[in-house]
Structure 1
Amino acid sequence: MTRSGDMKPAVEPSPLQSLLTDPILLPGSTHLPSLQTLAIQVQHDLRYQHSWTDLRLHFRSPLTNEPLPRPLLSGLPPQRLYIHPDEQVALLKTADQQRKASKEKGANKPLEVTAEPEHEWILPTRLNEKWTLHRLSDVFGGIGMVPPAAETAATEDMRPANPWRTTKRVVLATVDPDSTVVYYIVHDGVVKPRQN
């Protein structure tokens, strides 16, 4: 069946479709184009659906300058993703002290617990991929505790500002074939469970 001249033209592709169908020539990458496209898709989702800032693609290890097992992202979420249980207790104590001090001054201030957001590593994956401890270990082996502040940052600058951050972690971004993205926090090793 042929289209007649009076029919409407095909629907324009979405901005994300246009972004992903353009030829990808990312400098410094030796990774497969499908992995680069996956990383760009997750970067787009984090920026426009979850309001992350300072998003950057990483193809080389900031520790060794060797190629990473796959492209990683780093970025700053709008709010803290993970609070260590001991830090949670300390934050609650501080907030309670501030509330009691305001109560003595005649103000009835509510309990406000705040934790500044931290830069995070993001590992883009597909739902049908099989991840093993060995593959995750390869990823953790190529990254520092926190992402570098800039591509030229020294290894010393990759120490966390938060003293409670004692293990490496990544946000595992799992993309479903229907473009749904689900995020999980994965730690390198055993961590203390959160308190409810």
Structure 2
Amino acid sequence: MACPADVKPPIHPSPLQLLVTDASLLSPSHLPSLQTLAIQIQHNLQYQHSWTALRLHTHSPLTNEPLPRPLISGLPPKRLYVHPDEQIELLKKAEQDRQVRSRQGDNNTALDIKTELEPEWVLPTRLDEKWTAHRLSDVFGAITVVPPDEEASDTSEDRPANPWRTVKRIVLAAVSTDSTVVYYIVQDGVVKPRQN
């Protein structure tokens, strides 16, 4: 039995459309367009890049004032940035471990570099937005070095678990008009160049 020509099959919204149109996720402190952009980036991080512990932030963990725009925090599946001095220490430790394995008769000569995962801040933006040092400074001024732990009772805690992480950083997520997302790491202030 065929459908009449004038009857169209029902259109089912995608999971992302359902997520973006969920009014319960929206906060009155930001424009709905900025919040849906943040939800879109959160969806991309979770389902395309396997991030976990994702949270949408609308207020500063320092002052509890509204953030300049909604931010996301989360845990990437692997470490995004290793400080150059930490990189040297990790290589030294891995070389020592390799030498110990070699003395024990292990023929595995690969360096086994172990890094702990770190939570990151993510700033959702559109590719055509103009970002100035002043606008970025406003964002950095409202956040802690690492995102607050969801279970922690004191959200003003600003000490990272990693002693090498001394400056604030964000992952700038830029969405183009075709919904492609490009991610850049932006750090607050001057940072020692990374060794390759």
The TM-score normalised by the length of structure 2 is: 0.92
- Of the structure 1 ranges 103-112 and 68-77, higher mean CA displacement relative to structure 2 is found in 103-112
User: Do 2:62 and 2:156's aligned partners in 1 also have CA atoms closer than 8 Å?
Assistant: no
1:70 shift after superposition = 0.3
Aligned-residue sequence identity (percent) comes to 66
Q: Deviations over 1:9-36 (max 9, x none)?
A: 265332112322x252336541000000
Distance 1:6 1:35 in 2: 38
Q: Tell me the secondary structure at the aligned position of residue 54 of structure 1.
A: strand
The TM-score normalised by the length of structure 1 is: 0.92
Q: Tell me the secondary structure at the aligned position of residue 25 of structure 1.
A: helix
Q: How many residues align?
A: 193
Structure 2: give runs of 5+ residues left out of the alignment: none
* Partner residue in 1 for 2:123: 123
User: Do 1:122 and 1:170's aligned partners in 2 also have CA atoms closer than 8 Å?
Assistant: yes
* Partner residue in 2 for 1:162: 162
**Which contiguous aligned blocks of 4+ residues in structure 1 show a shift greater than 4 angstroms?**
none
* Partner residue in 1 for 2:70: 71
User: Do 1:24 and 1:33's aligned partners in 2 also have CA atoms closer than 8 Å?
Assistant: no
1:30-49 map, 5 Å: 30-49=29-48
- Of the structure 1 ranges 135-144 and 146-155, higher mean CA displacement relative to structure 2 is found in 146-155
Distance 2:121 2:153 in 1: 16
* Partner residue in 1 for 2:175: 175
1:40-189 map, 5 Å: 40-109=39-108, 110-150=110-150, 153-155=153-155, 157-189=157-189
